Structure 1
Amino acid sequence: MVSVPRVVIGAPSSGQGKTTVATGLMAALRDRGLAVAPFKVGPDYIDPGYHGLAADRPGRNLDPFLTGEELVAPLFAHGAEGADVAVVEGVMGLFDGRLGTEGFASTAHVAGLIDAPVVLVVDVRHTSRSIGALVHGMSTFDPAIQIAGVVINQVGSQRHEREVRDALRVPVLGALPRNLDIEAPSRHLGLVPAAERDDAGIRAMGETVARYVDLDAVLAVASLAPVLDVSPWDPAAVVSPSGTARPRIAIAGGRAFTFRYPETDELLVAAGCDPVAFDPLTATSLPEGTAGLWIGGGFPEIHAEELAGNKALLADIAAAVKAGLPTVAECAGLLYLGDELDGRPMAGALPGTAAMTGRLTMGYRTATSDADNLLGRVGEQVTGHEFHRTQATVGDSPAWLLDGRPDGVASPSLSASYLHVHWAGHPQLAQRFADAAHAFVGNGWATAPARLALSEPERLEQDLDHHGDRDLAPGLTDLAVNVRQPSTPSWLQDAITRDADWAAYPDTAPAREAIARYHGVDPAMVLPVAGAAEAFSLIARGIPGDSLIIHPQFTEPEAALLAAGRRPRRHLLGAVDGFRLSAGSVPAAELTIVGNPTNPTGVLHTRDVLLALRARVLVVDEAFLDAVPGEPETLIEPEMPGRLVLRSLTKTWALAGIRAGYVVGDPALIALLTRQQAPWSVSTPAIAAMCACLTPQRRDESEELARAAEVGRIDLADRLRSLGLDPVDGAAPFVLVDTVSIASRSLRGDLAAHGYAVRRGESFPGLGPTWLRLAVRDPQTHQGLVEALNEIKEEHAV
């Protein structure tokens, strides 16, 4: 509940004096000793700068297009906390909003959302009595809007003022004479920002309003506002820290970069970051320990000469951005990161140039991301505002499509665009930026000397994109790929090809229901995916926090995290312990990923050990658990707080060519993944396969296959032991074995010469080249492999 008195300052059109009256009113009320909360309707950054000087607290914006209608009142309540009165400056004419929307995001719209009375400011220079008709029309145009008073502006004489007053049917709260000395100066994008002026003009506005406006009458109007039944917006409710460190976010400020919504800093603080302002005109380097860079809007074109002359900072920023420092640049920031601006050298962190033009580009924009990057996700839409007279060309890979038009440039560590976004309306952007900063700190890259010396991220010792199919070659017997049947069963082929409607867009609802029935869980706990690869990508993008991978295991989770701009920590299990998991030795993490049974070791961890891991979110890859009779130790159950389990149909049902898998887990986590998933990513054939495979009949068939795989594994392991090898004791339909007793190098090439393709061990973190992962096949194939290994052993013994 919010009971702060409040008033909205509107006008019939732009240019009537709203900013002068609103800013002067804020200063005058503050001089009375009142705590004044200042607000501006619309996306404008400049007026709130004046408001901040006048009220000595941040000027804030109220814009239904940028944040959604539902957030306007909570954001107002947040900004008005602790205030005695709130003054809201309107935008354009009272009822003028986004074109074609019948006044959406207008001053009247916002006044209605916060249930506040309106005071009209009317310029009377070229009229007198007609003002009565104008105000009367505005007062009756929308009965839901209460116009409680008028301030007449630019009065020419006492006689002029009496004529206007006599024509008005609403109270006149003040009359300002013509006095250009209190008007704020303008230039190509509107008013000169407050940061570039002293506060003498603000004081003059306050003194003039205090002299010519009845402040008590204004306060009486403000007190007409009823109690607002709303809870204040809380940044901590929409973002959270993804690590224990507090990464420093360097925030460009000073005279050249003045545009920033205060909620941006508040969201970053709530997400565990420490915003630190620096002035690109004077600073010679980024703040020490910078783990993220935010450069907002402003007027770099006005200060281009000074910015270009600060070569030390430009070089530091270029090196940091190219080294992967998480960086967000809006409008002016985009210009600053480019090669040059109006012929003057800038940072050179981005290719291309920018220059002033005679054309103003301005308006609300709906922005869509066509690729995953630092801020955006494929198909995701956000709202924003564009406002500039420059034109920039900065290369391919746009940050956003602005109403379909490519704009800016982006990468996993960068988003640079003309678009201004109010992050309170899209807090996922703040969360992603903060997560990237936390990851940057976690990588040890956030100290100044290391940052400047780093030319590219540390190269990994493994090819994380290597999979078993790349070890195949024509004529080789396949022991590298873990598909368990030579071909897809005929009944499954029929379900995919004959029974599925390929002409319709995919609908995952039937698959979700089938998965839920199969596992006895609520459908809200289920997300069909295009195989485990998509699932890990969704997790990397949608589940924030510092991440830990328990290795050796499937390489896709780490590859997905790296692609999302996150560097996970590794916890390596060792052969001396049989690659067994001890929960007490695993460090705590906010996101921990483990396989069960693990690929490539085949080790099956117990449920108790998995649940003892210290993880806020635990992800268990159970892609091979259906190959273990009875599926023991599964974590799938009706209640799965903080847990996600991945399953795959690929291996059991020979569906490598149709990506078919699913995630089961905490409904809140499933919802996070769902928001990341692109539309129709799961194909109609994959949906049909899920429905066909997840039935009681197929459960029995899967169990038979699992028992056969268990027999096959025992057979392969025993034959390897006959050679003196010691395969890892596991439960999956593959065997991991170290062949160092035969040779101190990889035998993959030797086995290929004997006609066998095997999965190389060195492609898994924690394993060396003498390790081989061997898929379980039939006894004849096993015997042929062992004979080949024996021949190789004898060749090495000679």
Structure 2
Amino acid sequence: MVTSQLSVPAPPRIVVSAPGSGQGKTTIATGLMAALRHRGEQVAGFKIGPDYIDPGYHSLATGRPGRNLDPRLCSEELMLPLLLHGSRSPGPADVAVIEGVMGLYDGQLGTDGYASTAHVARLLQAPVIIVLDVSGVSRTAAALVRGLIAEDARLSIAGVIMNKVGSPRHAGEIRRALDDHGIVTLGAVPRDRGVSVPSRHLGLMPAAERPDAVDVIGRLADELADSVDLDAVLTAARNAPVIAGTPWDPTTVVRPASDERPVVAIAGGRAFTFRYAETEELLSAAGCRPVSFDPAEDIALPADTAGIYLGGGFPEVHAESLARNAPLRDAIADAVGRGVPTVAECAGLLYLAKSCDDQPMVGVLPTDGVMTERLTLGYRTGVADHDQLLAGAGETVTGHEFHRTAVTPDGSTPPAWLLGGRPEGFSLDPAGTGTPTVHASYLHIHWAGHPTVAQRFADAAHRYRQRVGQHAYDLDHHGDRDIADGLVDLAVNVRLGAPPAWLATILRDSIDHLAGYPRIDAATQAIAAAHGADIDQVLPTAGGAEGFTLIARGVRGDHPLVVHPQFTEPEAALRAAGRRPRRLVLSEADGFVLDPSAVDDHANLIMIGNPTNPTGVLHPADQIRALVRPGRVVCVDEAFMDAVPGERESLLGGDLTGIVVLRSLTKTWGLAGLRAGYAVGDPAIIADLRRQQAPWSVSTPAADAIVACLSAQARAEAARAAEEFDRLRTPLVSGLRDLGLSVLGDPATPFVLVDCAGWPGRPGWLRLALRDHGVAARRGDTFPGLGPDWIRVAVRDPGTTRGFLSTLADIKAGAVNHQEIPA
């Protein structure tokens, strides 16, 4: 690593301390920060110790990240560099206000005050202001302060701020006692005027959970400006000795593992408020892109997630709202199952458990979380007993535990750490990668003190990004890439090997007209007639793919949402157009069926398949229409609707306000190489698409094919083919289930989605085994929401189906005898 040699002076600084907890340090320190900021000073806020809650208030008061200074977590040597860093980022601060921990001399038990406020104040040569709750004393206050001063002559006590003063007379009595001993009085804050911070089982309520936090801090600023001599406070800060050092720089302790910029999803919101500011800075320096998400509100992980960081907080308080967000819980479970590197500290551990206080959580850890009466609190040394996500075997870290919940590991997984020889937490490899990708523990670690932890996690995110590609799922993968010469094709959903003879004749005749530019008038009229639509409601397209591209470019909406699992082309088209769609990943537990209430209210462009590729789910038309609202466009991919008997649940034929339906003729009529389709919808939407369409994009043969395939005779033939698919699908589904494979739901499509997880072997091995036996199935792990154990299988003629089922039986027999499970 490169070490910077630049030395800079420390800013004016002051430490706010007290004789003990509960004296009002946080209230006074936060009020001072806000009051000084209101005067125009740039204030950097710090908290001594491992506490996460107080820095949240500091951040609101100062407008910059609240930071921690803890020599036990980060070493004595890093105290000044971290102070310098926090005082210069995001810009230079005029003054640093540092809130102490517990009483002035209270540090780690058994260490003679190590990591106490006094310890850090000495390291930083910072004057100390004593906050004194005087609600139960008067002149005795002076004796208390004299005792604090006498304990350590190396400290500089700048003065006292009296808190909870009962009256001017009360304040005057204490001031005179302090004056008698030469102790400066900096202020007298009256008893609570509604500006105190409420507490609960782990201390103060986090600022992120208080809608009134900004208002409270504003009132604190006014209160402190009225009752404290801010000029004297600034003078004390400026009288701190001049010291200099090298600011901490994350780029000198970690480095990017590749030129990729993997997204690391950082849990936030009300339930996850505990994390150190340096964590994200280290990840950024290691080449990652930290992106926050709210597990209680967001329905999907950030796009392209290649790592997940679930920090501390209060999932036990917000368990109900976390449990309600099933789409995100499923998305995280799926991501973890696919090997996305995941760190879960304390609250994150509970969130990954099966349940928390009987509320369902993500369910990837073999444990449940429960509230207890016992508070677990203290510094811990963690030892890695194996090579895991955050440390190599034998490496140690120093962390902090602070929780009233408990989990009971079942012993089936290695621990995250050994704490004093005691196994704690979970280290898992759910994707079978050969290296643990999940680290879940109660231990909070300040990564600035252990940058190798950040480096290992970031390196894992880089490796995942490189392994899976740009979007975590290969959105450009289609079934044609799974087939090869010599393989029985069950991967592509085209019904016919070639167009029927009557259609082939029409296409051959169209060649005679290729010298002229294409005309689509007849195709437009044929579409309108077939679906009872007006001319301005229809648009011929060069297959469904062009339709998705036209929508991505032509339909406005800054919050596009793609419902998954489904055909990946809609999302790929949005991304190619420079848009950043959100994902709604439907729940496998619900059969991937749409729940309209799960759709983000902000989504103003929704893309959904019906019937859905690859799940085969046919969503009720009313459920899709329930998504329509003013200002929102609902795009429905009905590429396989003509394979559904009676085209039941199609949105065509009804009110199309706010709706556009895409149809494809390539699957039913063997026209994949020609590209023929169309859009039907709201005239305003169709007009937007028409403006985006390149001239003559629909070729003459494609236009002729549209006219031919939408004739009454052709539609009757397609209807008969749909009925035939129903008959052909039945023996395929029953045969798969007889072999112990799970077929999703009651498919209404010329394909079925199969879950192979019930068979032996590593994830994805059955698809590879089929390929080795001459059969190509569509892989499932390129569809968001699915994994390597899913395959999509096309419905074929009875002979092909029998051969496929026989091949599966042979593979199963070989696997049972342990003869052919791919490595």
TM bracket (short chain) = 0.5 to 0.7
Q: Give per-residue Cα distances to partners, 1:503-527, cap 9 Å, x unaligned.
A: xxxxxxxxxxxxxxxxxxxxxxxxx
Please show how residues 469-484 of structure 1 align to structure 2 within 5 Å. Answer: none
Aligned to 1:201: 216
State how far apart, in whole Å, the 2-side matches of 1:401 and 1:35 are. 43
1:62 pairs with one of 62, 69, 72: 69
Match of 1:434, SS? helix
Unaligned residue ranges in structure 2 (runs of 5+): 1-7, 429-435, 483-823
Structure 1 residue corresponding to 2:295, chosen from 257, 271, 280: 280
Match of 2:442? Answer: 418
Q: Secondary structure at the match of 1:105?
A: coil
Which digits, 9 at most, give the CA deviation of each residue in 1:379-409, with x for residues without a partner? 1110010011100124431101123221110
Describe the SS at the equivalent of 2:427: strand
Question: Counterparts of 1:154 and 1:306 in 2: how far apart (Å)?
Answer: 37
Deviations 1:164-217 (A, max 9, x none): 111112110000111251110111111110001131111111111111000000
| C-alpha contact (below 8 Å) 1:290/1:446 kept by paired residues | no
Partner of 1:712: none
Are 2:46 and 1:39 aligned? Answer: yes
* CA displacement at 1:133 relative to structure 2: 1.2
Cα deviations by residue, 1:605-660 (Å, 9 ceiling, x for unpaired): xxxxxxxxxxxxxxxxxxxxxxxxxxxxxxxxxxxxxxxxxxxxxxxxxxxxxxxx
In 2: Cα distance, 1:128 partner to 1:248 partner: 57
Instruction: Give the equivalent residue in structure 2 for 1:409.
Output: 426
Structure 2 distance, partners of 1:170, 1:113, is 23
Q: Is the 8 A contact 2:44 2:64 kept in 1?
A: yes
Structure-1 residue corresponding to 2:407: 392
Query: 1:239 matched to which residue of 2?
Result: 254
- The alpha-carbon deviation at position 448 of structure 1 amounts to 4.6
Give 1:143's aligned residue. 153
Residue 140 of structure 1 deviates from its aligned partner by 1.8
Aligned to 2:431: none
What's 1:432 paired with? Answer: 456
Q: Distance in 2 between matches of 1:277 and 1:393?
A: 29
Superposition pairs of residues 219-238 of structure 1, within 5 angstroms: 219-238=234-253
Is 2:158 aligned against 1:112?
A: no
Q: Distance in 2 between matches of 1:449 and 1:436?
A: 17
Q: How far 1:311 sits from its partner (Å)?
A: 0.7
Q: Does structure 1 conserve the Cα–Cα contact (< 8 Å) formed by 2:391 and 2:452? A: no
* 1:377 matched residue in structure 2: 392
Asked if the contact 1:254–1:278 (Cα under 8 Å) also holds between the matched residues in 2, the reply is yes
Quote the residue 1:50 is aligned against. Answer: 57
Report the residue type matching 1:383 in the other structure: T
Name the structure 2 match of 1:170: 183
Structure 1 residue 87: Cα displacement = 0.2
CA distance in 2, matches of 1:327, 1:38: 30
Letter in 1 for 2:134: V
- 1:8 corresponds to: 15
Looking at structure 2, the residues matched to 403 and 424 of structure 1 have their Cα atoms a distance apart, in angstroms, of 23
Kindly tell me the number of residue pairs found equivalent between the two proteins.
454
Give CA deviations for 1:132-176 in whole Å, capped at 9, x if unaligned: 111111112101110011001111122211111111121100001
Bigger shift: residues 154-163 or 323-332: 154-163
- Does 1:25 pair with 2:32? yes
Correspondent of 1:327 among 342, 346, 360? 342
Q: Is the 8 A contact 2:10 2:245 kept in 1?
A: no
Deviation at 1:131, TM superposition (A): 1.1
Distance in 1 (alpha carbons) for counterparts of 2:111 and 2:193: 35
Q: Secondary structure of 1:50's match?
A: helix
Matches of 1:259 and 1:356, distance apart in 2: 18
Specify the alignment match of 1:122 in structure 2: 132
Cα distance per residue 1:692-745 (max 9 Å; x no partner): xxxxxxxxxxxxxxxxxxxxxxxxxxxxxxxxxxxxxxxxxxxxxxxxxxxxxx
Rounded Cα–Cα distance in structure 2 between residues aligned with 1:380 and 1:438: 22
Q: Displacement of 1:449 after TM fit?
A: 3.9
- Whether 2:154 is the aligned partner of 1:156: answer no
Counterpart Cα distance in 2 of 1:251 and 1:228: 36
1:216 maps to what in 2? 231
1:54 match: secondary structure = helix
Instruction: Note the alpha carbon deviations across 1:341-370, whole angstroms, 9 max, x for none.
Output: 111111112111111111111111111111
Measure the CA separation in 2 of the matches of 1:177 and 1:31: 20
User: Counterpart of 1:442?
Assistant: 466
Indicate whether 1:345 and 2:360 are aligned.
Answer: yes
In structure 1, how many angstroms separate the alpha carbons of the residues matched to 2:217 and 2:314?
21
Which amino acid in the other structure matches residue 310 of structure 1?
Answer: N
Distance 2:94 2:265 in 1: 33
Q: CA deviation at 1:4?
A: 1.0
Cα-to-partner distance string for 1:210-256 (whole Å, 9 max, x where unaligned): 11000000000000112222110000000000000110000000111
Task: Establish whether residue 92 from structure 1 lines up as the match of residue 102 from structure 2.
Answer: yes
Give the structure 1 partner of residue 324 of structure 2. Answer: 309
The question of 1:184 aligning with 2:197 is answered: yes
Q: Do structure 1's residue 73 and structure 2's residue 86 form an aligned pair? A: no
- Give the Cα–Cα distance (whole angstroms) in 1 for the partners of residues 111 and 469 of structure 2: 48
The unaligned stretches of length 5 or more in structure 1 are: 459-798
CA distance in 2, matches of 1:2, 1:46: 29
Q: How many Å separate the matches in 2 of 1:445 and 1:335?
A: 30
Displacement of 1:36 after TM fit?
A: 0.3
Give the deviation of 1:315 after TM superposition.
0.7
How far apart, CA to CA, are the structure 2 residues paired with 1:16 and 1:292? 41
1:83 pairs with 2:90: no
Structure-1 residue corresponding to 2:588: none
SS across alignment from 2:400? strand
Distance in 2 (alpha carbons) for counterparts of 1:72 and 1:113: 7
Q: Could you say what secondary structure the match of 1:73 adopts?
A: helix
Superimposed CA distance per residue, residues 417-446 of structure 1 (whole angstroms, 9 cap, x where no aligned partner): 000000000000000000000100111256
* 2:245 partner SS: coil
Residue of structure 1 equivalent to 2:351 = 336
Q: 2:281 aligns with which of 266, 270, 277?
A: 266
Instruction: State the distance in 1 between where 2:297 and 2:474 align.
Output: 23
Q: What is the letter of the counterpart of residue 415 of structure 2?
A: P
Letter in 2 for 1:441: R
- The normalised TM-score by structure 1 is 0.56
Paired residue secondary structure (2:187)? strand
Cross-structure match for 2:378: 363
Matched position secondary structure for 2:159: strand
How far apart, CA to CA, are the structure 2 residues paired with 1:46 and 1:450? 40
Percent of aligned pairs sharing the same letter: 60
Distance in 1, Cα, partners of 2:460 & 2:10: 39
State the Cα distance separating 1:284 from its structure 2 match.
1.1
Give the Cα separation in 2 of the matches to 1:329 and 1:228. Answer: 38
Q: Is the 8 A contact 2:355 2:368 kept in 1?
A: yes
User: Are the equivalent residues in 2 in contact too, given 1:317–1:349 (CA < 8 A)?
Assistant: no
**DSSP 3-state at the match of 2:144:** helix
**Structure 1 counterpart of 2:308:** 293
Q: In 1, Cα distance between the equivalents of 2:472 and 2:328?
A: 12
1:599 alignment partner in structure 2:
none
Normalising by structure 2, report the TM-score: 0.54
